[in-house]
Amino acid sequence: MSTVALALGMALDAIVGEPKALWSKVPHPAVLMGRAVEALDARFNKDRRRDGVLAVAILAVGAIVLGWLIDVILFLPLEFLVVAVFLAQRSLVDHVRAVATGLDESLEAGRAAVAQIVGRDTTVLDESGVARAAIESGAENLSDGVIAPAFWYLVAGLPGLLLYKAVNTADSMIGHRTPRHARFGWAAAKLDDVMNYVPARLTGLLIGIVALSDSAIKTMLEDAREHRSPNAGWPEAAMAGALDIALSGPRIYAEGPSDDPWLNVHGRKTADAEDVRHCVSLMWRTWAVALGLLVLFAVLFVL
C-alpha cells in the first residue's frame, strides 16, 4: 500500500501544492520542525559536536515516533494526504518558474524571485547568474524536496519520511559552517548527507533519462564530485549536461565568497529565462517518470 499511497500523494501534491488557505490558518509541519530545531539549538548549542549529536538524536527519535503514531492512528487509505504535505514538486516548480517570469519583466524582478529559493547574494547577479541560480536550486531541490522524501517513505513508511524531513530541515538551519554552527551543526549535516546519498544519484539518473541526453549522464559521472556538496552535484551536473549550461562556479554566499569549480565547464555560461523554463520542463518530466515507475510497480506487484 505504501507504493499506492506515494503515487496518490505525488499526484495530489502536483495538483494542489501548498494551499495558502490551509497553511495561513495552521502552521505547516515543516514550520513546526523548524521550531523544534530552533528550540534544540537554543537549549543544547554549546559549540560542541557531541551536543549537536544529542540534539539530532532527539530530533530523529521524535520524528520516528511521531511518524509511527500517525501511521497507527491514521486510516491507511488517508496516508497519502500526509505524504502529499511533505512533498514539494508543485511549490518548487512554481518558485523556479517565477524566476523566468521575473526575468521576462526585469533583472531586478528576477533577482527578487531567485532570492526566495537560494541562499547566496542575489544583488550581484546578472541575468545569466540569476538563471543559473534558479536552475541549480531546481535540480538540487528536486532531489531534496521530491525524490528523497519519496525514497525514504518507500523504505520506511511515515517514520522514514518524517525522519528525512526533520534531518533535512535541521541541515538547512544549522548545517552550514557558520561560527555558531560549525561544530554543533556537524551531525545534522553529516546525517543529511547520508540520507541523500542514494536519492541524489537517483535524481541525476532520472534527469539524464528524461533529457534523452548522453551528455547529461556523462557530465554527471565526470563532474558531480567536483561540487562542494557530496550529493547536490549529482542532479546539478545532470541538469547542466542536459541543458548544455555550465553551473555552479564561483559564487557569493551568506557566509562569504566561494571559488567552486564549474560543472560542465565547457557548457554555456550564459543563460536566460528560456533555460529556466527548460529546467522546469525537465523537472516535471522527471517527476512524471518517477510517478510512472511507481504506478507500474503498484500494478505489477501490489494491486
Amino acid in position 20: K
Task: Give yes or no for residue 48 having a pLDDT over 90.
Answer: yes
In the prediction, which pLDDT does 120 show? 83
Dihedral angle over CA of 272, 274, 276, 280, nearest 10: 180
Percent of the chain with pLDDT over 90: 81
In the prediction, which pLDDT does 191 show? 98
Task: Give yes or no for residue 132 having a pLDDT over 70.
Answer: yes
Largest CA-CA distance found in the chain, in angstroms, rounded: 54
Q: Among candidates 223, 185, 184, 188, which has minimal Cα distance to 204?
A: 223
Percent of the chain with pLDDT over 70: 96
Is pTM, for the whole model, over 0.85? yes
Q: Among candidates 168, 175, 174, 96, which has minimal Cα distance to 131?
A: 96
Q: Which range, of 42-46, 60-64, 72-76, averages the lowest pLDDT?
A: 72-76
**Per residue in 140-157, pLDDT tens?**
999 999 999 999 999 999
**Per residue in 191-247, pLDDT tens?**
999 999 999 999 999 999 999 988 999 999 999 999 999 999 999 999 999 999 999
In the prediction, which pLDDT does 1 show? 60
How many C-beta atoms surround the C-beta of residue 237 within 10 A? Answer: 30
State the angle between helix axes of 89-105 and 2-16 in degrees (0 to 180), rounded to the nearest 10. 30
Length of the chain: 303
Task: Pull the grid cell for residue 226.
Answer: 567536483
In the prediction, which pLDDT does 256 show? 62
The SS3 of residue 87 is: coil
Instruction: Tell me the C-alpha distance between 182 and 171, whole Å.
Output: 12
Dihedral angle over CA of 160, 24, 135, 189, nearest 10: -40
**Per residue in 249-299, pLDDT tens?**
887 665 567 788 999 999 999 999 999 999 999 999 999 999 999 988 888
Mean pLDDT over the full length of the chain: 93
Residue 126 is classified by DSSP as -
In the prediction, which pLDDT does 119 show? 81
Which residues are CB-contacts of 129 (< 8 A; sequence separation ≥ 6)? none
Instruction: Tell me the C-alpha distance between 7 and 156, whole Å.
Output: 16
Domain boundaries, the chain: 2-302
The SS3 of residue 263 is: strand
